[in-house]
Amino acid sequence: MLFLLIFCSSVVIPILFVIHIALQPIKQKLHGKVVLVTGAARGLGQQICIKLAQKGCHIIVVDSLLTDETLRKLKPYHVKVRSYQVDASNEQEVLQLKEKVINDFRAVDILINNFCCISSKPILQQSKEEVDGLTKNGIVDVIFMTKCFLEEMINRGRGQIVSISSMLENSDLTSYSITKWAMSGFMLGLKNFLQSRQLTGIRTMNVFAGVIDSQNELIADENQKSQEQLQHVIAYQRPIKCHTEFKPLALLPLKTLPTS
């Protein structure tokens, strides 16, 4: 499993950049790949869709909200796009999604788990119902979505699963933080599950994100950005002390890079 640490400040670009460069060591060509992105109606999920469409991927847009804006932004890239409005907490809707996706695309090459629920209430003000909803959406629903498409990947012997975790330890987002740490454990367990069965054709990647302003607009055409505007997303790789099976990569703002 690729272990990714992303340090960013109110931008979406670094995560898109690190997902792209993280796929390079796997030596897979993104062009023509079928990618399913959850939570893709807006924010980070929408921008991931745009970035991958630029690379020639066929995009499956999944969200509980209407995805008209995402579809409009993907139209210029002339790739196959399908949108499905799905309540991920509804088992039947997820199973129907799988059936529709297989009928429309035959297979999913890359699954990106991005959907989540956030409450701005401090933990002491959250009801049990609210905590149940947050943890179910951020843990149980993600696991079930993964299970549905993992089965098909195992049958084909190839695929990739990406999940968005978090490095946040914000006391006002305690329940949200719990779901992201749980997702990290799930992805590590999934990696071990695949390795123990020698399913080496299926890759996993866990993205640990810092603070993101997912409502910021990211223009679809990077060529319109000046070098100065993009300089804060230059990648810097360095060793990180972690489990030896992980491949570490840190993405730092330019101003934090060492000068020597």
pLDDT, position 203 = 94
DSSP state of 189: H
Whether residue 24 has pLDDT greater than 80: no
pLDDT, position 170 = 52
Q: 173 is in which domain, residue-wise?
A: 2-256
pLDDT bin (cut points 50, 70, 90) of residue 177 is confident
pLDDT, position 216 = 37
Query: Which residue, among 164, 68, 56, has the nearest Cα to 115 in the 3D structure?
Result: 164
pLDDT, position 191 = 95
Query: Do the beta carbons of residue 38 and residue 93 sit within 8 Å?
Result: no
> 3-class SS at 166?
strand
pLDDT, position 44 = 84
pLDDT bin (cut points 50, 70, 90) of residue 235 is very low
The amino acid that residue 255 corresponds to is K
What is the domain count for the chain? 1
Q: Which residue has the higher pLDDT, 37 or 207?
A: 37
Q: Which residue has the higher pLDDT, 258 or 186?
A: 186
Residues near 253 by beta carbon (within 8 Å), at least 6 away in sequence: 7, 8, 9, 232, 233
Q: Output the domain CATH number for residue 246.
A: 3.40.50.720
Predicted confidence (pLDDT) per residue in 64-111, tens digit: 988 899 999 999 999 999 999 999 999 999 999 999 999 999 999 999
pLDDT, position 204 = 94
- Out of 10-19, 132-141, 160-169, 196-205, the most confident range is 196-205
Global pTM value: 0.74
Predicted confidence (pLDDT) per residue in 119-169, tens digit: 777 788 889 998 898 889 889 999 999 999 999 999 999 999 999 887 665
Q: Which residue has the higher pLDDT, 164 or 20?
A: 164
Q: What is the DSSP string of 59-114?
A: EEEEESS--HHHHHHHGGG---EEEEE--TT-HHHHHHHHHHHHHHHS--SEEEE-
175 phi/psi in degrees, rounded to 5 = -65, -40
Predicted confidence (pLDDT) per residue in 245-258, tens digit: 333 334 444 444 44
